[in-house]
Structure 1
Amino acid sequence: MGKSVFTEADVRDLAGSRSYERGLGYLDSVGHLRADGGRIVATVRGTERYRVVLHSTEPLRGECDCPYGEDGFFCKHCVAVALTLLRAPGGQSALRKEAAVRDTTLSDWLGSLSKEELLSLVQRQLAADDGFKETLVLRASTARGDTAAARSAIRAMVDPEDFTQYGYIGYQDAAGYAAQVSRAAEAVQELAESGRADAAVEAARDAISRVIAVYGSADDSDGEISQAAADLAEAHLAACAAGSPDPEETARWIVDRCLDEDGDCVEIEPAAYADILGPRGLAELRALGEEALSRNPSGWAERYLMETLVRVEGNVDELVALYAADLTPNGARHLRITMELDAAGRADEALTWAENGLRHAAAEQTPPHVDLVAYTAERYARQGRTADALTVRRDHFLLAPSLPAYRELRAAAQAHGVWDTERPRVLDPLREVTDTDRRGRYAHGSLLIDVLIDDGDLEEAWTAAPGRAHPGQLLTLADASVTSRPADALDVYLQAVASRTQQTGDHNYHAIADLLLKARTCHETLGTQAAFTAYATTLRAEQKRKRNLIRILDGRGL
Structure 2
Amino acid sequence: MTRKLAGFAEDDLRALAGDRSFTRGLGYLDAVSGLEVGEGSVTAVVHGTDAYEVELTLGDGDGISGWCDCPYGQEGNFCKHCVAVGLTVLRRAEAIPRQRAAARARTSGLEAWLAALSRDELLALVRERLAEDRTLRRRLELRAATARSDLHAVRDRVLALIDPRPFARYGYIEYADAPGYAQQIAEAASALSALTAGGGAAQAVGLAEEALRVLAEAYEEMDDSDGVVGEAAAAVAEAHVKACKVARPDPHRLAEWLVGHMLGDDSGVPDLDPLDYAEVLGPAGLSRMRQLAAEAKRRRPSGWAERYLMECLVKAAGDVDELVELYAQDLHPSGATHLRIAEELESAGRADEALAWAERGLRDCAAEAHIDGRLVDHVCVHYARAGRTADVVALRRDRFHVEQSLAAYRQLRSAAQAAHCWEAERVAALAALKADARRERGSRYGGTLLIDALLDDGDLDAAWKEAAGRAHDGQWEQLADLSRETRPAEALTVYLRLAESAKEPTGDRAYERLARLLLGARDCHRALGTEAVFTEYLVGLRTELKRRRKLMTVLERHGL
Is the TM value for this pair above 0.5? Answer: yes
Aligned match of 1:255: 259
**Whole-angstrom CA distance in 2 between matches of 1:266 and 1:484:** 58
Give the superposition deviation at 1:26: 1.3
Deviations 1:155-192 (A, max 9, x none): 11112332334544445544433332232222222322
C-alpha contact (below 8 Å) 1:493/1:518 kept by paired residues: yes
**Whole-angstrom CA distance in 1 between matches of 2:411 and 2:96:** 43
Q: Percent identity?
A: 49
Q: Which has the higher contact order (CA 8 A, sep 6+)?
A: 1
TM-aligned CA distance change 1:37 to 1:194, over 3 Å: farther
Give the superposition deviation at 1:305: 0.9
Aligned match of 1:370: 373
**Whole-angstrom CA distance in 1 between matches of 2:118 and 2:478:** 67
Deviations 1:501-533 (A, max 9, x none): 323334433443333333222211111111111
Aligned match of 2:364: 360
C-alpha contact (below 8 Å) 1:138/1:153 kept by paired residues: yes
TM-aligned CA distance change 1:389 to 1:201, over 3 Å: same
TM-aligned CA distance change 1:384 to 1:241, over 3 Å: same
C-alpha contact (below 8 Å) 1:402/1:442 kept by paired residues: no
TM-aligned CA distance change 1:303 to 1:145, over 3 Å: same
**Whole-angstrom CA distance in 1 between matches of 2:11 and 2:431:** 38
C-alpha contact (below 8 Å) 1:2/1:92 kept by paired residues: no
TM-aligned CA distance change 1:276 to 1:36, over 3 Å: farther
**Whole-angstrom CA distance in 2 between matches of 1:59 and 1:278:** 51
Deviates more, 1:224-233 or 1:264-273: 224-233
Aligned match of 2:302: 298
Match of 2:208 among 198, 204, 210: 204
Deviations 1:314-343 (A, max 9, x none): 221111111111111111100001111112
Q: Does 1:43 align with 2:45?
A: yes
Give the superposition deviation at 1:293: 2.0
Structure 2: which 5+ residue stretches go unaligned?
A: none
Aligned partner of 1:500: which letter?
A
Deviations 1:363-387 (A, max 9, x none): x545321000011111111111111
Match of 1:162 among 137, 148, 166: 166
Aligned partner of 1:422: which letter?
E
**Whole-angstrom CA distance in 2 between matches of 1:515 and 1:188:** 59
Match of 2:111 among 98, 102, 107: 107
Aligned match of 2:321: 317
Deviations 1:79-115 (A, max 9, x none): 4345556666279988876664454343233223333
C-alpha contact (below 8 Å) 1:478/1:492 kept by paired residues: yes
Aligned partner of 2:531: which letter?
Q
Aligned match of 2:541: 539
Match of 1:415 among 413, 418, 421: 418
Structure 1: which 5+ residue stretches go unaligned?
A: none
TM-aligned CA distance change 1:100 to 1:493, over 3 Å: farther
Aligned match of 1:307: 311
TM-aligned CA distance change 1:470 to 1:238, over 3 Å: farther
**Whole-angstrom CA distance in 2 between matches of 1:2 and 1:237:** 50
C-alpha contact (below 8 Å) 2:38/2:99 kept by paired residues: no
C-alpha contact (below 8 Å) 1:437/1:444 kept by paired residues: no
TM-aligned CA distance change 1:335 to 1:218, over 3 Å: same
**Whole-angstrom CA distance in 1 between matches of 2:329 and 2:63:** 44
Aligned match of 2:433: 430
SS of the residue corresponding to residue 45 of structure 2 reads strand
Match of 1:387 among 390, 396, 410: 390
**Whole-angstrom CA distance in 2 between matches of 1:278 and 1:355:** 38
TM-aligned CA distance change 1:8 to 1:425, over 3 Å: farther
Deviates more, 1:297-306 or 1:473-482: 473-482
Q: Does 1:551 align with 2:550?
A: no
Q: Does 1:120 align with 2:124?
A: yes
SS of the residue corresponding to residue 216 of structure 1 reads helix
TM-aligned CA distance change 1:165 to 1:412, over 3 Å: closer
Match of 2:349 among 345, 348, 352: 345
Aligned match of 1:517: 519
Give the superposition deviation at 1:40: 6.1
C-alpha contact (below 8 Å) 1:351/1:379 kept by paired residues: yes
Give the superposition deviation at 1:138: 0.8
Give the superposition deviation at 1:66: 2.9
Match of 1:283 among 276, 287, 296: 287
SS of the residue corresponding to residue 52 of structure 2 reads strand
CA RMSD, 1 decimal: 3.2
SS of the residue corresponding to residue 442 of structure 1 reads coil
C-alpha contact (below 8 Å) 1:197/1:243 kept by paired residues: yes
C-alpha contact (below 8 Å) 2:496/2:521 kept by paired residues: yes
Q: After superposition, where does 1:82-93 map in structure 2 within 5 Å?
A: 83-84=87-88, 89=93
Q: After superposition, where does 1:462-481 map in structure 2 within 5 Å?
A: 462-481=464-483
TM-aligned CA distance change 1:231 to 1:100, over 3 Å: farther
Q: Does 1:265 align with 2:269?
A: yes
Aligned match of 2:458: 456
TM-aligned CA distance change 1:417 to 1:168, over 3 Å: closer
Give the superposition deviation at 1:133: 1.2
Deviates more, 1:371-380 or 1:531-540: 531-540
